[in-house]
Structure 1
Amino acid sequence: MEKCLAIVAADKEVLSPASRMPYYPLAVRSGHGSTVVDADGNEYLDFLASAAALNTGHAHPKVVKAVQEQAARFIHYTPAYMYHEPLVHLAQALVRITPGDFPKQVAFGLSGSDANDGAIKLARAYTGRPKIISFIRSYHGSTYGSITLSAVSLNMRRKIGPLLPEVEHIPYPDCYRCPFGQQHGSCSLECLEYVRFAFANYIPPDEVAAVIMEPIQGDAGIVVPPVEYVKGLVKLCREHGILFVSEEVQQGFGRTGRWFGIEHFDVEPDILILGKAIASGMPLSALVARKEIMQAWEAPAHLFTMGGNPVSCAAALATIEVIEEENLVERSRTLGEQAMARFRELAGRYELIGDVRGRGLSIGVDLVTSRATRERAYKEAAKVCYRAWEKGLLLSFFSNSVLRIQPPLVITDAELERGLNIIEEALADVTAGRVPDEVLETVKGW
């Protein structure tokens, strides 16, 4: 670990602590497929996929070739003033694969954060209304607009206000930790009734431009809402002239066993927010919206000197081709079902596992100190991740207690099985008290 530790020590001297939530002292040297090699030559299986940004895996040959060939032609010329073919071809591809059988247009940026900002601007421009509704425990990014939409961490908001005005937050339909104390299947969708309550009491619906929703709430711990909630919410939006925006930054591009997470709910969003896996690790984001909505704003409302970079666009086009040619959407669904079954089997043997949930290869394993109280097991989650790393698996947790299972979609059956075996071994070690508290000085997570 000598080289890794030296890099970590140097990093602490020159990098702001605001830009990292550490898990273990890993310095990446290279990666291929579902494997990462650190600076000391140690090899790890990757169950994080760079925060779900590498759905096609590390250094997929087709993506690498597309990047190299485009970089050799020209690296960039700003689309704010000029045109280039990769930008057009990618926009055409996004229009084709996104849900909604209607004319669409695309706007490009650099990250999921700026795409969330763009959705706020676009919705206000189209509707002429000021208010935006987001969800408690949502995470949307680190720009001012995306931080304002987010409501999952106090540290995101401390000392940097005031944030954007006219953004309201409502409870997300979390069936495991229901904010209304109900049980799914026997409830009356109090979460949806609360939206009606809000419209009647403190959020005038005729002033709301958009509802921005993660179809599966990611950093809150892979929270999957009931289908009837999402359909009911979209119906309410339609009744009041409110745009419905699906925030697909984490759940898009095959991650959930569908091209986009919202497709699990049989509704058509007015706007989609895309990022992370769109370009297999290259910086890129996109908004895809109904054409008439996109016509509502004017330049330079959402343009960036580096937005729609042709190298990133080439990587994104190759990414889409890889997902289609290798049937990664279906593979995500199939492998996800296998992994969920294994975790549910483990839940039968480990009281530490309170809940297993997700879609495709976007799975949350919620660790609890007590199944009765569902109290989050932060220390245990941190220890499981650290022990998994010691055994050769890159694993993280979020929401203080939820193991994040989001490997590259190209992971092999054997690799998936090996990773699941390591997690079982780590659970056994933590349950037996074989992982010391000292590791908590290194693992912070969130």
Structure 2
Amino acid sequence: MSQVKQDLLNRRAKAVAKGVSTGTVVAVKAEGAIITDVDGKEYIDFAGGIGVVNVGHNNPRVVEAIKKQADNILHTCFHVAMYEEYIALCEKLIEIAPGDFEKRAALFNSGAEAVENAIKIARHATGKQGVMVFENAFHGRTLLTMSLTSKIKPYKLGFGPYAPEIYRIPPAYCYRCPLGREYPTCDIGCADLLSKSFIGRAAAENLACVIAEPVMGEGGFIAPPKEYFPKIQNICRENDILFIADEVQSGFGRTGRMLAMEHWGVVPDLTVMAKSMGGGMPISAVAGRADIMDAPHVGGLGGTYGGNPVCASAALAAIAALEEDNLIQKGAELGDKLVNRFKELQERHAIIGEVRGKGPMLALELVLDPKTKEPAPAKAKELVSYCLDKGLILLSCGNFGNVIRTLMPLVITEEQLEKALSIMDEGLASISQ
């Protein structure tokens, strides 16, 4: 480690709050799928800013849009002086959001803020307070979204009391089925847990919404069977409960589709978007049915920086890159290739208990024994460390911390991908010894 890097780490220790986690990479440049640190070492990025740069680091379209907008307006606050970029992005998002009904959108700053506003909108529109979420879910770190989030450490420990009127049921986690069944002979009984929850957990008459990640992010990249979400949505409709899709991490090409819910053919009442929507800039949105979105009174939604013109311009450019540079199709092809390669790794490395996900949003769940499925969090940590040393940035996740997830930019080159997979193969062999 160079003295320059050590000095920066020392400065970080003295100036930045301990609760803010960081890795040891100190970035000075990022482009495409490569991050260069202060020592000049290049890293292949399989983290993507935690799912933020699907269109690649410093995407030329996004950078140009930022520069152009910065020459005109940096900030006015949309509530004070509106600007076209906010309106244009909302127009684009209601085009992207599923459903052939009339739609509206509103812009915010972060995924957590958008989730929180989606809950506000659902409560106002229905006149009900309860929210049903899933175990293993991650929806953010604010008081309400932290309360929605399942994992205690590190997200909730010591930060209570939590927000009330939040209820939880097990998800469709086939590898560790909460009902001890096997797909496809299970009749998707896990979806029926929602109906059963109306008896002993929360009356349907008090539930404003059910909120779900199409593919669970921090919870372990869990993707339910094709029948699951349609069944959940039907239960919601039968009981006048709104269905909200949290597409913060799974959206904008991450699963080989613009929005992940397309894989299930489900049309949510509201869709939450963020992360890769902004191409690296902080912006988020809620889009959905006009009657629901328009329910809150004037002034009930908003925020000082929500839909900032520079961020909105970046988002429009990022969406253009996805659509016009064929990145969504490339993502689908990348996902197909990764599934095959990860299945090959699974055949050679018994520590991989399951390969799962959608498109290039994939996970390897590491276990000490394929038969007992005992989680291997220490091995996952060891693999992340091994790969980082070799020039590959990986992230672990899951309630047990034993899942390796892939969030590489969709612009990754063939050479970069092959090198990264080779490092992973070597790392898996090393930790399996």
TM tier, smaller? over 0.9
Which residue of structure 2 lines up, in the alignment, with residue 443 of structure 1? Answer: none
Q: 1:180: Cα distance to partner?
A: 1.6
Q: Deviations over 1:206-233 (max 9, x none)?
A: 1111000001111111101112111111
Instruction: Give the TM-score of the pair, scaled to structure 2.
Output: 0.97
1: CA distance, partners of 2:170 / 2:281: 33
- Whichever residue aligns with residue 171 of structure 1, its letter is P
Residues 244, 270 of structure 2: 8 Å contact kept = yes
- Whichever residue aligns with residue 404 of structure 1, its letter is R
- Whichever residue aligns with residue 224 of structure 1, its letter is A
- Identical counterparts, % of pairs: 36
2: CA distance, partners of 1:68 / 1:153: 41
Residues 171, 190 of structure 2: 8 Å contact kept = yes
1:109 partnered with 2:84: no
Residues 4, 25 of structure 1: 8 Å contact kept = no
Which residue of structure 2 lines up, in the alignment, with residue 133 of structure 1? Answer: 132
1: CA distance, partners of 2:178 / 2:5: 42
> Quick check: 162-171 or 178-187, which moved more?
178-187
Residues 113, 140 of structure 1: 8 Å contact kept = yes
Unaligned stretches of 5+ residues in structure 1: 433-446
Which residue of structure 2 lines up, in the alignment, with residue 366 of structure 1? Answer: 365
Q: Deviations over 1:260-317 (max 9, x none)?
A: 1111101100000011111111110100011111111024322111110000000000
Which residue of structure 1 lines up, in the alignment, with residue 405 of structure 2? Answer: 404
Which residue of structure 1 lines up, in the alignment, with residue 178 of structure 2? Answer: 179
Instruction: Give the TM-score of the pair, scaled to structure 1.
Output: 0.94
2: CA distance, partners of 1:16 / 1:170: 34
1:232 partnered with 2:231: yes
Which residue of structure 2 lines up, in the alignment, with residue 439 of structure 1? Answer: none
Which residue of structure 2 lines up, in the alignment, with residue 170 of structure 1? Answer: 169
2: CA distance, partners of 1:328 / 1:191: 34
Which residue of structure 1 lines up, in the alignment, with residue 419 of structure 2? Answer: 418
Which residue of structure 1 lines up, in the alignment, with residue 333 of structure 2? Answer: 334
Q: 1:17: Cα distance to partner?
A: 2.4
Which residue of structure 1 lines up, in the alignment, with residue 247 of structure 2? Answer: 248
Which residue of structure 2 lines up, in the alignment, with residue 8 of structure 1? Answer: 9
Alignment of 1:431-442 (within 5 A): 431-432=432-433
1: CA distance, partners of 2:219 / 2:6: 31
Which residue of structure 2 lines up, in the alignment, with residue 438 of structure 1? Answer: none
Alignment of 1:23-422 (within 5 A): 24-399=23-398, 400-422=401-423
The alignment covers a number of residue pairs equal to 430
2: CA distance, partners of 1:363 / 1:125: 36
Residues 381, 397 of structure 1: 8 Å contact kept = yes
SS of alignment partner, residue 19 of structure 2: helix
C-alpha root-mean-square deviation of aligned residues, in Å? 1.1
Unaligned stretches of 5+ residues in structure 2: none
SS of alignment partner, residue 271 of structure 2: strand
Runs of 4+ aligned structure 1 residues displaced above 3 Å come to none
Which residue of structure 1 lines up, in the alignment, with residue 20 of structure 2? Answer: 19
Q: Deviations over 1:30-82 (max 9, x none)?
A: 10101100011111111111101001111011110000010111101101222
SS of alignment partner, residue 168 of structure 1: strand
Q: Deviations over 1:231-279 (max 9, x none)?
A: 1110000111110000000000010011111111011000000111111
Residues 98, 259 of structure 1: 8 Å contact kept = no
Residues 120, 145 of structure 1: 8 Å contact kept = no
1: CA distance, partners of 2:220 / 2:332: 19
Task: Identify if the C-alpha distance between structure 1 residues 425 and 17 changes in structure 2 by more than 3 Å, giving closer, same or farther.
Answer: same
SS of alignment partner, residue 54 of structure 2: coil
Q: 1:202: Cα distance to partner?
A: 2.7
Q: Deviations over 1:153-200 (max 9, x none)?
A: 343222222221111111111000111211112223221221121113
1: CA distance, partners of 2:158 / 2:387: 35
